Chain A
């Protein structure tokens, strides 16, 4: 058992080191762009899993990204705050909104909650379209400044002029976020979340404040999309309400479910595969959506536990086949 853990840690380490070297292996702005989006989606899908851990299916991620993006952008452009401060505040603001909103929402269960949060996204997007004086309306905001340069005299001078700088930034954000999410999932709080997921009323009966923990899960889970929304705005240097609508929300959900929401690695694998896949399928042109949807449905049909459940499932299938064969022999 100890050996296995060691192998896990080693392979994770190798993977992380490899990711730091990727920009040297694959040059070109297009590849870097895709990679940046992949890492962003990994954070988004993993944070959605944290909410899902407490038995809530949230469809508010697009709205939370919009809140974070607009908050941080406005803080930078109107109040002149440092971009790093603004990123954090964007995340916190999303978490605060999530916290306030989820108090009435905790009374909604299952699909009711999912639809109510989808609605939250609709309201946020509509507000961003409507509030022209603040958000620029449907056209959005242009010329968002890059992140403030990180300068340590003599050692580092990162100006965020190239995409590679952004790649390293999002890589570090991803590593920190995943560490936090993993730690929360493994902690006592994570255990309580799982308890609520398995049986709401049982958790309540042993004295757990289920509503409080649900609000907590939703708020923490919404901090990350808020933060990533801010990152998105600084990376793309332009935002408009349409980029945060239902489609991104649904895609994040797809990443999580296709990867497998049970395991921590699920959303990571799902986001990675499904962000890279459409890019690989680009030569198919207008048939690309069919293939994407086809892959999606195949995974849902064939892999009940998502892509990460595949090794376990294939073992099961192999054992079944093997046992049959021995019986006949």
Chain B
């Protein structure tokens, strides 16, 4: 086992972590503010990948322009979903869960009938390899880490410094108290849904060059996202980041050392063990 391979594994781990964190942040935002496990989150991720695919490959737009447009589109779509499907069921998590399952069926089949079942892929606009300290790092993986990190910084600045962001922290702490302070829960829910969907769309678009995109790609992301937020603590933003890092590094490093199956099992086992000691996850609270 050479250091080079291990370093490669670590880098892969960080790029996987970037994707997991982006997906998990959206899930956890929606969960903490709307109290809904949005199972169609993986489908949002898939739609993000497809919309960038169509704008970047079919329309030939600049990659960043395509990304920005699709983020706005998918975020707007998220607001629409919140208004139409999730707002009527706030406080009824089981019915909202069924609604999100219905959404999975509809969104998957809509995309299937538009794009077809053939997996697609596009070349990353960031090709080439970066040589540093004797390590070779592919740009497309590095760019995931860079974009993921910068989005995190932006999101945290937003939450720490703006009034809307503070409201997003207040609602999960005490819903009634927040409402009494004049926080408009409907509005904040829409904002949360916008951010959640936008982050998922970015994750989908970044992943597309690494893997192929298909109408069923969302279930993988959903599972990883759920694993991350369980690990980190449901509804906790720092928890999602820590959980994403742990799970991403496991998924990046362990397959290099052993097999993919062991890596998957390791991921689950880690979560179960952590849950045994901290049922509320690493960063969660009762």
Q: Does A250 contact B (CB under 8 A)?
A: yes
Within 113-142 of A, Cβ neighbours of B (below 8 Å) are at 114-116, 118-119, 122-123, 126-127, 129-130
Mostly helix, strand, loop or mixed at chain B's interface? helix
Q: Does B99 contact A (CB under 8 A)?
A: yes
16 example contacts (A-B, Cβ-Cβ < 8 A) are as follows A104-B276, A112-B280, A119-B227, A119-B230, A122-B223, A126-B261, A246-B219, A250-B101, A254-B98, A257-B97, A261-B94, A289-B108, A292-B105, A294-B102, A296-B98, A301-B88
Within 243-276 of A, Cβ neighbours of B (below 8 Å) are at 246, 250, 253-254, 257-258, 261
Identify the B interface with A (CB < 8 A): 31, 35, 37, 39, 85, 88-89, 93-95, 97-99, 101-103, 105-106, 108-109, 113, 219, 223, 226-227, 229-230, 234, 261, 264-265, 268, 271-272, 275-276, 279-280
What CA separation (Å) do A224 and B228 show in the bound complex? Answer: 31
Residue count of chain A within 8 Å CB distance of chain B: 36
Nearest CB in chain B: distance from A303 CB, A: 10
Neighbouring A residues of B97 by C-beta, 8 Å: 114, 253, 257
What CA separation (Å) do A89 and B97 show in the bound complex? Answer: 33
What CA separation (Å) do A147 and B261 show in the bound complex? Answer: 34
Nearest CB in chain B: distance from A67 CB, A: 16
What CA separation (Å) do A290 and B229 show in the bound complex? Answer: 30
- B37 to A111, Cβ gap below 8 A? yes
Neighbouring B residues of A250 by C-beta, 8 Å: 39, 101
- A258 to B93, Cβ gap below 8 A? no
Residue of A nearest to B226 (CB): A115
Identify the A interface with B (CB < 8 A): 57, 104, 107-108, 110-112, 114-116, 118-119, 122-123, 126-127, 129-130, 246, 250, 253-254, 257-258, 261, 286, 289-290, 292-294, 296-297, 300-301, 304
What CA separation (Å) do A282 and B77 show in the bound complex? Answer: 30
- A116 to B109, Cβ gap below 8 A? no
What CA separation (Å) do A304 and B85 show in the bound complex? Answer: 14
Q: Which of B113, B261, B271, B276 contacts A130 (CB 8 A)?
A: B261
Known: A253-B94, A293-B102. 13 other contacts (CB 8 A): A104-B276, A115-B229, A118-B226, A119-B227, A126-B265, A126-B268, A130-B265, A257-B94, A257-B97, A289-B106, A293-B103, A294-B102, A294-B106
- A116 to B230, Cβ gap below 8 A? yes
Neighbouring A residues of B105 by C-beta, 8 Å: 289-290, 292-293, 296
Neighbouring B residues of A293 by C-beta, 8 Å: 102-103, 105-106, 109
Given contacts A57-B94, A104-B276, A296-B98, contact A119 B271 (CB under 8 A): yes
What CA separation (Å) do A130 and B261 show in the bound complex? Answer: 7
- B275 to A126, Cβ gap below 8 A? no
What CA separation (Å) do A126 and B261 show in the bound complex? Answer: 8
Neighbouring A residues of B109 by C-beta, 8 Å: 286, 289-290, 293
Give me the 3 closest cross-chain CB pairs, A-B, nearest first: A293-B105, A107-B279, A293-B102
- A111 to B98, Cβ gap below 8 A? no
Nearest CB in chain B: distance from A59 CB, A: 9
Given contacts A110-B93, A111-B93, A254-B101, contact A126 B264 (CB under 8 A): yes
Nearest CB in chain A: distance from B262 CB, A: 9
Nearest CB in chain B: distance from A218 CB, A: 15
- A111 to B31, Cβ gap below 8 A? yes
- B98 to A300, Cβ gap below 8 A? yes
- B99 to A297, Cβ gap below 8 A? yes
Q: Which of B31, B103, B113, B275 contacts A286 (CB 8 A)?
A: B113
Neighbouring A residues of B264 by C-beta, 8 Å: 126, 130
- A111 to B234, Cβ gap below 8 A? yes
What CA separation (Å) do A114 and B96 show in the bound complex? Answer: 13
Given contacts A108-B279, A111-B31, A122-B223, contact A253 B230 (CB under 8 A): no
Neighbouring B residues of A108 by C-beta, 8 Å: 275, 279-280
- B268 to A258, Cβ gap below 8 A? no
- A123 to B99, Cβ gap below 8 A? no
What CA separation (Å) do A110 and B89 show in the bound complex? Answer: 16
Nearest CB in chain A: distance from B243 CB, A: 13
